[in-house]
Structure 1
Amino acid sequence: MLTTLLTCQLMIVLDITVMNVALPRIQTDLHFSATGLSWVMSSYSLVFGGLLLLGGRAGDLFGRRTLFITGATLFTLASLAGGLAPAAGWLIAARVVQGIGGAMAGPSTLALLTTIFDEPKARMRVLALFSGMSSAGFAIGLIVGGLLTEWLSWRSVLFINVPFGLVVVALAVRYLPAAHRKPAHLDLPGAITATSGVATLVYGFISAASHGWGAATTEISLVAGIVLVAAFLIIESRTPQPLLPLRLFADRNRATAYANMFLTPMAGMSMFFFLTQFLQDVLGLSALATGFAFLPTAALMFTMIRLIPRLLPRFGPKPLAMTGAGAMVAGLLLLTRLTADSGYFPLLFVAMLLMGCGIGLAVSPLNVIIMSNVEPDDAGAAGGALQTLQQTGASLGLAALVTVFGTVSRSAGGSAQHALVSGMTTAFAAAAAIAALTFAVALTFRNSRPAT
């Protein structure tokens, strides 16, 4: 059961970054415009982020096993269709369906882990594994994407999901227990405002990255998204069976963990996005070498998988989150020292080690804190909220930092490479400021230790 659920989660997370390295070849093959190419990534993020809350609560109400199997099947079929795409529109449509499947399976994965493994020590271990798999998946996606793009073609980046997806579905049908179904009505007003609100916000962030914060589409989308989210919170406070029970935020440690689950990806995603370009456009590395350049980050994240179940009961969440945020700040500040003449060693290598350790320590305890003592009936909603905040934070952070990058690189003098690196280092400085905010939020954790 653990293998089935973690494999599905890794497959979903990989798809967020695995396409990055393949984008130049996709553009050439399917004749994407420069602006249209961003939708290969954005279409998945938009739908996945917008539907996570609905997917989490639907699993609580209609059966998590059913929703997990349906979502994994849909994701697998969409991956096959995307790999066969003859045109740009076909690929984007397949990515949308992938997002729908991911939003159905993702929250149910976390909820099933929480309810199946109900003994506290076992639950802490599997949640740490889930968190480590989710975090390391971002770096592994770049490595896998580089390997497949270099050795086969960009289409194999999508085809690789098919055998794994089929195994996940077969194992889920065979081994996952029938989940408890809660007799209730789906909160449709909450579902509509939550889904449209989060999707509109994510679209606003994507528009900010493409057209700037002052563009009409950006401003309208962000304002509409804020209004819809505010309406959603009002509805949730009044409905007897809410999509997102606000009592989840009553616990101080859980509320703090939710806040950092939003902030940490804002700072961390910039490293993957900008360093992929630096390694290829400045250092001239191939797609394969670019993927392997992120190996130190992935290795440190996987190391945290083993350490968190031992460290969290011993020290509690506060020291771990503070240490992780501090390592992220140090890694990002080191990246502000990049120049067009920088090599991989030692600066980039050390920065990647710090970021791998920092993200692993900062994020891995959060899943445990949020999900370890949640009521079984609310597990899907809690998991959906966790992943929604993570996805929205990553989208917002990337949009803000890409805007900083664009503004600085356009005004920088000198060569094209100098302008590119100037924009990146300024974006890394802004990301370091966000990581420092993560450190400040971590100070509000109660210095308690989870029971084992």
Structure 2
Amino acid sequence: MPLPTRRKWWALAVVSLTQLVVVLDGTIVNIALPQAQAELGLSDSQRQWVVTAYALAFGALLLLGGRVADYWGRKRTFIVGMVGFGLASVFGGVAQSGTELIIARGLQGVFAALLAPAALALLTVTFPSGRERNTAFAVFGTVAGAGASVGLVLGGVLTEFADWRWCLLVNVFFVALGLVGAFLFISESKADGDNRYDLAGAVTVTLGLGSLVYGFSMAEAGWGNPQTVTFLILGVLLLAAFVWIEARQRQPLLPLRIVADRVRGGAFLIQAIAGSVMIGATLYLTFHLQIVMQMSALGAGLASLPLPLGTMLVAPFATKMLPRFGPRPLLIVGPVIVAAGLGYLSFITAMGSYWVEVFPALVVMGAGMALVFVPLQNVALAGVAPHDAGAASAVTNSAMQIGGSIGLSVFTAVYVGALAGDTSHLPEVLADAYSVTFVAAAIGMLLAAVIASTMIRGQKSQLLPSGSDAVLVHAG
């Protein structure tokens, strides 16, 4: 039975709030990391895993979370995800060691993987078609797109005027609102028919990605390090086993036809590289602002805003350009622009000015990212059968989180290698190491442009979803 109109819009407010929490938690902790590292005595490797644990668990379990929501019940999954996310946030907020904080962040990612697809599925069934659906998705996308900016500012305010722990504890407030709203305004729904969980696929892909990320994180001790090689090989073997399992499952976690298409496969690779920059490289920018430039937590949060705000401002123009030029030119030019911004950022110095060395780079990167993110979701959904649309969208989001996990591990290895054993932590030494990290990120974005030019091929009409306008997506 359709929901009353007023109740539907309250349901939209609830699920939009949920998406805001999931996205802002990807950035709010970044601002707090220098203080958390100092208080808990985190090593640089542990510091990286505070971010990686969330992104890895979120990305690896997102497909399974979508299946759980569809089969078990979307409202039920939403509520369990909310409660679990809140409890994990409290655990992280009272953590007394780096290990506890990393575990808490991983648990946040696990429950976010339940929460995010359940929220999107609830939005889809609450607004099944028409103008109301377009309005609902526009509101949902706008709120989600603002999440990164809100996280940066809120993280700065809480760290500056309260304590870094409140960057986690503040989630309890959002969770409480979400739970009350869920019980009042959201109705239960789930998929019909014979539904089976692909547990073998879920286990192999999660362990495979975890092994791969851990192997990359160990590369800071050397690429020839036995642990590095062992975990990288194990990760590849487990992911190969995942492909073998999916090819034989009647109801696979990931229908291989989605990623086998050359164009969509290219889009997922570009999304992973973009994720590595948005999650990985920008974390080192936060460190530069606070540790080298001696900005306060709030100052660093505000100083980081030109990147997400630039993306939000340029995205509507990119959306208008998409039907006219098609996705391919945007996906070639966008990464090149981001790479140019990263290249400019690599010239940072210990005594440099923010307005000269950092601000212009962030504006350029934000504009370039808009040209990347707007076409990606459209390309990922082009030519996808309706019953595969949810899985294809989930893979796009998973690719960003997994790309961020792997990218952050690789950038950490590059950063440690650039330090060359220097533990002085002098501003000049750190700035040089961050500079090398930004160069590595720029190379990654140039690789994304090459992937776009070689894999995103076809007529403009073939590369966009039929019968619909361009889909405007957020960068989270």
TM over 0.5: yes
**Residues 253-310 of structure 1: per-residue CA shift (max 9 Å, x gap):** 4333222111211233344112112112222111111111012112212224544554
**Residues 44-77 of structure 1: per-residue CA shift (max 9 Å, x gap):** 3343233223212323333333322321221122
Letter in 1 for 2:354: Y
With over 3 angstroms needed to count, the CA separation of the structure-2 counterparts of 1:372 and 1:141, relative to structure 1, is: farther
CA apart distance, 1:84:
3.4
With over 3 angstroms needed to count, the CA separation of the structure-2 counterparts of 1:155 and 1:415, relative to structure 1, is: closer
Whole-angstrom CA distance in 2 between matches of 1:376 and 1:60:
15
Letter in 2 for 1:231: A
Name the structure 2 match of 1:352.
362
Whole-angstrom CA distance in 1 between matches of 2:136 and 2:363:
24
Q: CA RMSD of the aligned region, Å?
A: 3.0
1:5 to 4, 9, 15: 15
Letter in 2 for 1:366: L
1:208 aligns with 2:226: no
Name the structure 1 match of 2:88.
78
Q: Where does structure 1 lack aligned partners over 5 or more consecutive residues? A: none
Letter in 2 for 1:196: L
- The question of whether the paired residues in 1 share the 8 Å contact of 2:345 and 2:435 is answered with yes
1:185 aligns with 2:190: no
Task: State which drifts further: 228-237 or 85-94.
Answer: 85-94
Name the structure 1 match of 2:402.
392
With over 3 angstroms needed to count, the CA separation of the structure-2 counterparts of 1:102 and 1:213, relative to structure 1, is: farther
Q: TM-score, normalised by structure 2?
A: 0.84
2:179 to 159, 169, 182: 169
- The question of whether the paired residues in 1 share the 8 Å contact of 2:286 and 2:304 is answered with no
2:244 to 229, 234, 245: 234
- The question of whether the paired residues in 2 share the 8 Å contact of 1:300 and 1:357 is answered with yes
CA apart distance, 1:118:
4.8
Name the structure 2 match of 1:321.
331
Count of residues in correspondence between the two structures: 451
- The question of whether the paired residues in 1 share the 8 Å contact of 2:267 and 2:379 is answered with yes
CA apart distance, 1:24:
3.2
Task: State which drifts further: 422-431 or 103-112.
Answer: 103-112
With over 3 angstroms needed to count, the CA separation of the structure-2 counterparts of 1:252 and 1:24, relative to structure 1, is: closer
Look up the SS of the partner of 2:26 in the other structure: helix
- The question of whether the paired residues in 2 share the 8 Å contact of 1:128 and 1:305 is answered with no
1:151 aligns with 2:151: no
1:431 aligns with 2:441: yes
- The question of whether the paired residues in 2 share the 8 Å contact of 1:236 and 1:242 is answered with yes
Taking every aligned residue pair, what percent have the same amino acid on both sides?
37
With over 3 angstroms needed to count, the CA separation of the structure-2 counterparts of 1:277 and 1:407, relative to structure 1, is: same
1:257 to 267, 270, 281: 267
**Residues 118-166 of structure 1: per-residue CA shift (max 9 Å, x gap):** 5488767766766665565445423321111001111211122112122
Name the structure 2 match of 1:41.
51
**Matched ranges for 1:355-374 at <5 A:** 355-371=365-381, 374=384
Q: TM-score, normalised by structure 1?
A: 0.88
**Matched ranges for 1:126-137 at <5 A:** 137=147
With over 3 angstroms needed to count, the CA separation of the structure-2 counterparts of 1:414 and 1:167, relative to structure 1, is: closer
- The question of whether the paired residues in 1 share the 8 Å contact of 2:48 and 2:408 is answered with no
**Residues 199-226 of structure 1: per-residue CA shift (max 9 Å, x gap):** 22233233335x4433333222221111
Task: State which drifts further: 232-241 or 334-343.
Answer: 334-343
- The question of whether the paired residues in 1 share the 8 Å contact of 2:338 and 2:365 is answered with yes
- The question of whether the paired residues in 1 share the 8 Å contact of 2:52 and 2:408 is answered with no
**Matched ranges for 1:58-97 at <5 A:** 58-86=68-96, 88-97=98-107
With over 3 angstroms needed to count, the CA separation of the structure-2 counterparts of 1:146 and 1:335, relative to structure 1, is: same
- The question of whether the paired residues in 2 share the 8 Å contact of 1:110 and 1:380 is answered with no
